Structure 1
Amino acid sequence: MLKALFIDLSGVLYEGHNVIPGAVAAIKKARASQLQLRFVTNTSRRTRTQLLTDLQNLGFDLQKKELFTAPVAVHAWLQEKKLRPYCLIHHNIKSEFADLLQAMPNAVVIGDAEQNFCYDKLNRAFQLCQQGAVLVGIGYNRYFKLEGQLLLDAGPFIKAIEFAALTQAIIIGKPSKDFFLQALASTGLSADQVLMIGDDIYGDIEGAINAGLLAGLVRTGKYQTGDEHKISAAHLTFNSIVDAVDYALSDQSNN
């Protein structure tokens, strides 16, 4: 029996500045039930506070404790390991790492840096990793969708540094199993009681399945025809978050 929903943000609740039709009502319906809600995202262009404000402005009601972001998880990991990061990230989230010592870096953090993905900065990341710095990825997504276009995400750039420096990144964020398990731990539930809803067949769906969760792919956001056939693991497919929530609620009523 389903007892919680893990929900991706971009592409599932909204696209750019536009709410997915029916998404606000679907979240209200889910919240009125006995389901626990967690919102899990690799979004690395906005701070956690900015995301909460954005979502509230779009009409979504959620609490800070329900929002799990990859940048916050990376910060916690760096702090725990006492690492000094060279941050190749979007300028909007630099404040998330401002309290960490960054002189003489022994770690490289790569997120969706947008225009900061220039040769000089990528080369600096390569040189540090070649000298032994730990490579850390804020997620490992291939691409995302913004204003109707598919755009490169951080994954291809992380892959380039891995290839050049003969290293392997530690991924904190989807599809990392540990990221899903961190959110799971906050619910007190077992993995088979949770349905992850996302638009990324690899980061959301395959990642959740590898963590033991159930998973449902929505045909919104970055979804492209045929995505549901790109992995062999069993999963659900929905037209949108509206159908996914209805499925979860019907599962509750049938048990």
Structure 2
Amino acid sequence: MIRGVVLDLAGVVYEGDHVLPGALEAIAELREAGLPIRFVTNTTTKTKQMLLARLNAFGLDMTDDELFTPGQAALQWLTDHDASPVLLVHPNLEEEFADIPVRGTRAVVVGDAGDAFTYANMNRAFRALIDGASFLALAKNRVFQGDDGQLSLDAGAFVTALEYSCGEDAIVLGKPSPDFFDAALESMDCAPEEAVMVGDDAESDVAGALKAGLSNAVLVRTGKYRDGDEDRFDPPPTAVANDLADAVAWIVRHS
């Protein structure tokens, strides 16, 4: 039986500057059914507060403790390990790390830096890594769907390039990290076997959630979904839905 719902955002709830049709009503249906919701995103071009303000402007009425971001996870990791960041992130995200003091231990933090993925910035991160800094990837997605509706190269390619050159695997903090899913589930006191993930990314959202121990994961045919994605990664989705409203109908039947 499903007792908690984990929802991806971009491509599932909204695209670009608009909410997807039926998404707000579907979320309201989950709340009316008494199912707690946590929203998890690998978006790293905005701070958590920027995202929260944007999503609430869409009408989501989301609270701070319902939203989980890789930037938030990175701040916790840096605190737990008494480390200061060497940032290779989008300029919008830099302010999220502005108050961290300089410490003896360093960690390279890589997010979706966009146009800041220059040779100079990549080489600066590489030199910090071979000098002993820890390696944190906010996410390692292959692609994302841009505001133009087209797929674009995501941070995963740049993380992989640094891994290749420095000979060290990054610690991935966002999806599909089991710790990321666990934090969301723990916050709503929901066991993995009683949870469901809904996402448009068959690899990070769906297979990632199932590998992290969630019993159910629904792939929606919106956002970055492309024909045949349900068969490209293992484990496959528990169910495939046309959109969030269709996914919620499936969840309510199984709750």
Place the TM-score, normalised by the shorter chain, in its bin. over 0.9
State how far apart, in whole Å, the 1-side matches of 2:44 and 2:143 are. Answer: 13
Paired position in structure 1 for 2:206: 205
2:44 match: 44
Q: Which runs of 4+ in 1 moved over 2 A?
A: 101-106
Aligned-partner Cα distance in 2 for 1:140–1:155: 4
Contact 2:9 2:39 in 1 (8 A): yes
Match for residue 6 of structure 2?
Answer: 6
- Counterpart in the other structure of 1:219: 221
Match of 2:253 in 1: 250
- The alignment partner of 2:137 has SS state of strand
With over 3 angstroms needed to count, the CA separation of the structure-2 counterparts of 1:48 and 1:208, relative to structure 1, is same
Gaps of 5+ in 1: none
1:71 aligns with 2:71: yes
Q: Which residue of 1 aligns with 2:135?
A: 135
For 1:17-166, what aligned pairs fall within 5 Å after superposition?
Answer: 17-102=17-102, 106-146=106-146, 147-166=148-167
Which of 236, 239, 245 is the matching residue for 2:242? Answer: 239
Residue correspondences, number? 252
Aligned 8 A contact 1:205 1:216 in 2: yes
Any conservation in 2 of the 1:198–1:218 contact (CA below 8 Å)? yes
- The answer as to whether partners of 1:86 and 1:105 remain within 8 angstroms in 2 is no
For residues 168 and 251 of structure 1, the distance between their equivalents in structure 2, rounded to whole angstroms, comes to 38
In the alignment, the residues of structure 2 paired with residue 217 and residue 102 of structure 1 have an alpha-carbon distance, to the nearest angstrom, of 42
Deviation at 1:234, TM superposition (A): 3.9
Aligned partner of 1:205: which letter? V
> What is the aligned partner in structure 1 of residue 188 from structure 2?
187
Kept in 1: contact 2:82–2:105 (CA 8 A)? no
Change (3 A) 1:7 1:202: same
Give RMSD over aligned pairs. Answer: 1.2
Name the amino acid aligned to 1:109. Answer: V
Q: CA deviation at 1:59?
A: 1.6
* Counterpart residue identity of residue 224, structure 1: R
Deviations 1:37-93 (A, max 9, x none): 000111101111111111111121211111111111111111110112110011111
Q: Could you state the TM-score of these two structures normalised by the residue count of structure 2? A: 0.96
Deviations 1:181-216 (A, max 9, x none): 111111212101110000111110111011111111
Letter aligned with residue 209 of structure 2: A
Alignment gaps of 5+ in structure 2: none
1:154-182 Cα distance to aligned partner (Å, 9 max, x none): 11101000000111101101011111011
Deviation (angstroms), 1:104: 7.2
